Amino acid sequence: MEAEIVQAVDQMGPYVAAALAAYGANVLTRAEDAAADATVNAGRNILLRVWNRVSPTRRAMLQQAVEDAATTGPGADDGAAALRVQLRHAISEDPQLVGELRHLLASAPRVVTASGERSVAIGGDNNGVVSTADGASITFHGGRTAGPTPA
């Protein structure tokens, strides 16, 4: 069960980060914003689902973790890690919550991010070749080779 909780929390990360980036520490009290993208609303809904199911003591710890993560920014490792820990603890208190969160994640839009020079992000299946190298040669299973493409 613990492995399933850790996996669920890891999958929630991009959605929660997007919600924190959009709303900051107010993410738990802000009304759903029709103008916000689906990823932000998915992250907010995930946090609220957990928030509404935990004890008052755990809620206070989760609130502090959300505030810390919002203050340090969604890319900061410390704030994000503290929030993940609190989410894991909160979900551990309610075994049915894991299934509900998995359902929310399944209906959430995919989060695909590419960062850095020549990065590639694929939001679904890829049946072709992806190459970002200069002068790359690609050999296909049929033995055919595609030479370097001109820059």
Assign 74 a pLDDT band (cuts: 50, 70, 90): low
Q: Would you say the C-alpha torsion 91, 20, 26, 45 has a positive or negative sign?
A: negative
Assign 6 a pLDDT band (cuts: 50, 70, 90): confident
Q: What is the mean pLDDT of residues 88-104?
A: 88
Residue 151 CA to residue 142 CA, distance in Å, equals 26
131-140, pLDDT tens digit by residue? 777 777 777 6
- Is the confidence at residue 143, as pLDDT, over 60? no
Residue 115 CA to residue 57 CA, distance in Å, equals 38
**Quick one: pLDDT at residue 17?**
82
**Quick one: pLDDT at residue 61?**
92
- Residue 146 DSSP one-character state: E
Please tell me the least confidently modeled range out of 41-50, 100-109, 116-125.
Answer: 116-125
- Is the confidence at residue 96, as pLDDT, over 80? yes
